[in-house]
Amino acid sequence: IERTLSIIKPNAVSARKIGAIIQRFEAAGFSIVACKMVKLTEEQAQGFYAEHKERDFFPRLMQFLLTAPVVALVLEKENAIESYREIMGATDPESAATGTIRADYGQNVTINAVHGSDSPESAAREIAYFFAESEVN
Ligand code: ATP
Ligand code: MG
C-alpha cells in the first residue's frame, strides 16, 4: 500500500472547499493517515517547491501560497500516487479532465486548488516536510 502527500491550496481553503475536496479523497478510496492546517511561511513555501525556484512562475506561486492557510494530508491507497494524480487532474485547470478536482476548483495554472506528489521519492520527502515520524507511523 502506497502513500502520497496532498495539499489543499489557499484558493480552495478560501472558497470553503476543504470538505468537498476531502470528500472526493474518501470517495475515491483514500484513507486519511494524517491531516493538518498550516499557514505557510515564505521559507516553508520556497523549500517545498525548491525544484521550481528558477522557473519564471516561481514568484507568482510563492505569492499565491501565502494568501491563506493550506491543508496538508497524508493519503493512503493501493497505487496512491498515480491514483491521486488522476482525480487531481492536469496542472492547468483548462486542460484538466472533466470531473477532476482541478477542473472543478482550479482558477488557472498557478491557482489550481490542490497539490499531489509525483513519485515515491517526492512523496517521502513531502510527507517528512509536513509531518513528524510519530504523526505518520
Ligand atoms: P503540484 O506539484 O502543485 O502538484 P503539478 O505537479 O501538476 O502540481 P508542477 O509542474 O509540479 O505541477 O508545478 C508546481 C506548481 O507550480 C503547480 O501546481 C502550479 O501551481 C505552478 N505552476 C506550474 N506550472 C506553471 C506555469 N506554467 N505557470 C504558472 N504556474 C505554474
Ligand atoms: Mg509537482
**Dist. CA 12 → ligand 1 center (Å):** 15
Which fold, 2-135? Alpha-Beta Plaits (3.30.70)
Q: Is the ipTM of this complex over 0.90?
A: yes
Which residues on adjacent β-strands are paired with residue 3?
76
Q: Give residue-wise pLDDT tens across range 5-38.
A: 999 999 999 999 999 999 999 999 999 999 999 9
Q: Give residue-wise pLDDT tens across range 93-132.
A: 999 999 999 999 999 999 999 999 999 999 999 999 999 9
Q: Give me the helices (H) in 10-65, please.
A: 10-14, 18-27, 42-48, 58-65
- Tell the residue nearest (CA) to atom 15 of ligand 1: 110
- Tell the residue nearest (CA) to atom 1 of ligand 1: 115
Model-level pTM? 0.97
CA dihedral of 105, 91, 24, 36, whole degrees rounded to 10: -90
Beta carbon of 69 within 6 Å of any ligand 1 atom: no
